[in-house]
Chains A and B, each alone.
Chain A
Amino acid sequence: MAGHVESGGVAKHSPLAQFEIKQIVPLEIGGVDVSFTNSSLLMVIAVVLAAGFFLIGMRRGALVPGRWQSAAELTYEFVAGLFRETVGQEGRRYFPAVFTLFMFILLGNLLGMVPYSFTFTSHIIVTFAMAATVFVGVTILGFARHGIRFFAFFVPPGAPVLMWPLLIPIEIISYLSRPISLSVRLFANMLAGHTLIKVIAGFIAVLGVAGVLPLAVVVALTGLEILIAVLQAYVFAILTCLYINDALHMH
């Protein structure tokens, strides 16, 4: 991602200051800026936490799970159940990808709720990269499974041939809009929620005693944001499942 520091411009208490990318270790390879930024740092933390969570949780693999193990197993079972319901047994081998995506997004969203941290899922380039990966992967999967018949995807069955020139572009646009809607949904939710919290928090000090009101709102919003953080990870995962299912069993 383009990780150059936005110099000036943003006021100190701007509600958008939290989304600024800051370089930690400036790096440049072949003219491409590959600096280690606060965004990358949070991603690394998310990956380490996710890996640590399961490594610690499953270290024993006891028949009667302890606390960590139940937590790890619950998470796994949750996503596995989701996957089983939407894709079924056939797509079993794509489950690790969905599970990884889910954990990465979930931790990214939740880590963003920690004060002074950074929400990497609030940047469209990050979410779009993930959505595009899903999209390309699913398209390749569809082609691999069905070959040229994959194009039958775009022809609405039962439509008169006369209508095809109109309907096929619509279907193709509809198909191409998947990665966009997938990425925009996640990014917009995180961006909007975090900005809203900051804006309303800005009223607290200004209003003096009446600042109790916005404070209460911020508390409520924080709860809502945590809900949305989990929900969005869930939505991303379930949509990935549905797309995989599409590619596996075409009509």
Chain B
Amino acid sequence: MSDEPPPPSRRDFDARLREAKARRRARKGDTDQPSGGGLAFAMRVGVEVVAALGVGVGIGLLLDRWLGTGPWMLLLFFVLGAAAGMLNIYRIMSGYGYTAGYRPKRHGPGKPDEPKRKS
């Protein structure tokens, strides 16, 4: 460390730090891009279909065993699971994010300047 002219006081530093942080946050807010690189994105997407399908089949099998309804629940929930998988992908690709539901285009949610929305 070099001997610089008398260092500004600590409180001054804090103030400047807070200011700089606020500035950075504001700047980050307007770049509305999906977080993470392409590879991370690809890896997130791949599993979604299989997972939903698996859950559907699992529910189907459990219901069948519980209710004793032949293969029908399995067949029904297999289709529902496949639909859910497609829904997952659709949501991610069309920018709804991972939210259940269809709130449009908020990739980097909770922008600090945005008023809290409740509904």
Residues of A within 8 A of B (CB): 63-64, 81-82, 84-91, 153-154, 156-158, 169-171, 173-178, 180-181, 184-185, 188-189, 231-232, 234-235, 238-239, 242-243, 245-246, 249-251
Contacts and interface: CB of A to CB of B under 8 A. Distances in A.
A249 B101 contact: no
B36 interface: yes
A135 B55 CA distance: 14
Contact of A235 (B43, B48, B110): B43
Interface in B83-101: 83-85, 87-88, 97-101
B101 A231 contact: no
B99 A238 contact: no
A231 B100 contact: no
A175 B116 CA distance: 24
Contacts of A177: 48, 51-52, 54-55, 84-85, 88
B101 A174 contact: no
Contact of B112 (A64, A89, A232): A89
B110 A170 contact: no
Contacts, number: 126
Interface of B: 1, 10, 13, 25, 28, 35-37, 39-40, 43-44, 46-48, 50-52, 54-56, 59, 77, 80-81, 83-85, 87-88, 97-103, 108-112, 116-119
Contacts of A86: 35, 108-110
Q: Top 9 A-B pairs ranked by shortest CB distance? A: A88-B110, A181-B51, A173-B84, A251-B103, A180-B51, A177-B52, A177-B51, A174-B84, A181-B47
B39 A231 contact: yes
B43 A82 contact: no
A246 B80 contact: no
A246 B111 contact: no
Contact of B100 (A88, A171, A180, A185): A171
A234 B40 contact: yes
A90 B115 CA distance: 11
A153 B100 contact: yes
